[in-house]
């Protein structure tokens, strides 16, 4: 994903109307395609406490957890309450601020930017549609493979249908009409079959599939390191941690 694409996505999700929706805890909020099709975003659920479906997902997590696109932080807070080392990342200032106010740890950061503990996270989460980040599933899956430890776990939420869609969308509220004021950005929507088609050639292997509460999920294992692979502890860390090579747990603590 190019720097220009990262900046476009970051501006879209960090500005209004997304920030306003997170501050009030309610929508309506939509992703809008150029043909006028609208995808409703579940702001009220995101801003509520973790529900039964969320908790079932979180019980599957292993090691330190990176919540990619953490939004207002319900999953970060729930994992922390379970005693799990966890860090949320999001491009939205409002989302990160909301997470921190709830007592969770979060950074305002794109998944494609340098992150703490690269190569040492036990689990990465891509829930609430975040499989669409960047609009390029292959690039996103490759990046997550860099962030997880060898054999690490990715839990992704998929569309409950055989969908494979990559489009340009705009973020709009109920009164935004055509959404002409918001910059378009790339997005993807994948069902489970499509995700597996992208994942397998990249070395991911399926570790579970399930549907509950009308939501669908896939667990994937990252490629295991070969004997010639670079050890996880030798990976670079962000400048704030230069001079140390922390575990994912200490990366969370120091973020």
pLDDT per residue, tens digit, the chain (255 aa), is 555 555 545 455 555 788 889 988 999 999 999 899 999 999 999 999 999 999 999 999 999 999 999 999 999 999 999 999 999 999 999 999 999 999 999 999 999 999 999 999 999 999 999 999 999 999 999 999 999 999 999 999 999 999 999 999 999 987 665 555 568 999 999 999 999 999 999 999 999 999 999 999 999 999 886 433 333 333 332 222 233 344 566 556 556
pTM of the predicted model as reported, rounded to 2 decimal places: 0.85
Report the candidate in 92, 84, 103 with the shortest Cα–Cα distance to residue 155. 84
Per-residue b/e over 81-98, b at no fewer than 16 CB within 10 Å? eeebbbbbbbbbebbbbb
Question: Is domain 3-254 in CATH 3.30.470.10, yes or no?
Answer: no
Do β-strands 38-40 and 205-212 pair in parallel, antiparallel, or remain unpaired?
A: unpaired
How far from chain centre, in Å, is Cα 187?
13
Q: What is the pLDDT of residue 72?
A: 97
Q: Break the chain into its structural domains and give their ranges.
A: 3-254
Q: What is the pLDDT of residue 146?
A: 97
CB 160 within 8 A of CB 191: yes
Token pair of 134 as six digits = 């960047």
């Amino acid at each position: 994903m190019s720097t220009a694409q990262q900046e476009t996505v970051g501006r879209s999700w960090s500005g209004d109307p997304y920030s306003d929706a997170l501050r009030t805890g309610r929508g309506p909020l939509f992703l809008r395609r150029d043909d006028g099709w609208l995808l409703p975003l579940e702001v009220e659920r995101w801003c509520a406490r973790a529900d039964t479906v969320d908790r079932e997902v979180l019980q599957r997590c292993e090691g330190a957890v990176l919540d990619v696109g953490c939004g207002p932080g319900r999953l970060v807070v729930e994992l922390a309450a379970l005693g799990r080392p966890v860090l949320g990342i999001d491009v939205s200032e409002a989302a990160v601020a909301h997470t921190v106010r709830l007592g969770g740890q979060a950074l305002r950061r794109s998944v494609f930017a340098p992150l703490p503990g690269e190569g040492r996270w036990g689990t990465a989460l891509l829930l609430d549609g975040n499989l669409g980040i960047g609009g390029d599933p292959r690039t996103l899956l490759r990046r997550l493979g860099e962030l997880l430890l060898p054999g690490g776990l990715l839990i992704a939420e998929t569309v409950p249908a055989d969908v494979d869609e990559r489009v340009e969308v705009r973020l709009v509220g109920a009164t935004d009409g055509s959404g002409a004021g918001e910059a378009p950005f790339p997005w993807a929507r994948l069902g489970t079959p499509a995700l597996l088609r992208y994942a397998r050639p990249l070395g991911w292997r399926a570790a579970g599939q399930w549907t509950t509460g009308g939501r669908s999920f896939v667990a994937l294992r990252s490629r295991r390191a070969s004997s010639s692979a670079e050890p996880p502890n030798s990976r670079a860390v962000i400048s704030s941690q230069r001079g140390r090579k922390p575990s994912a747990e200490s990366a969370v603590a120091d973020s």
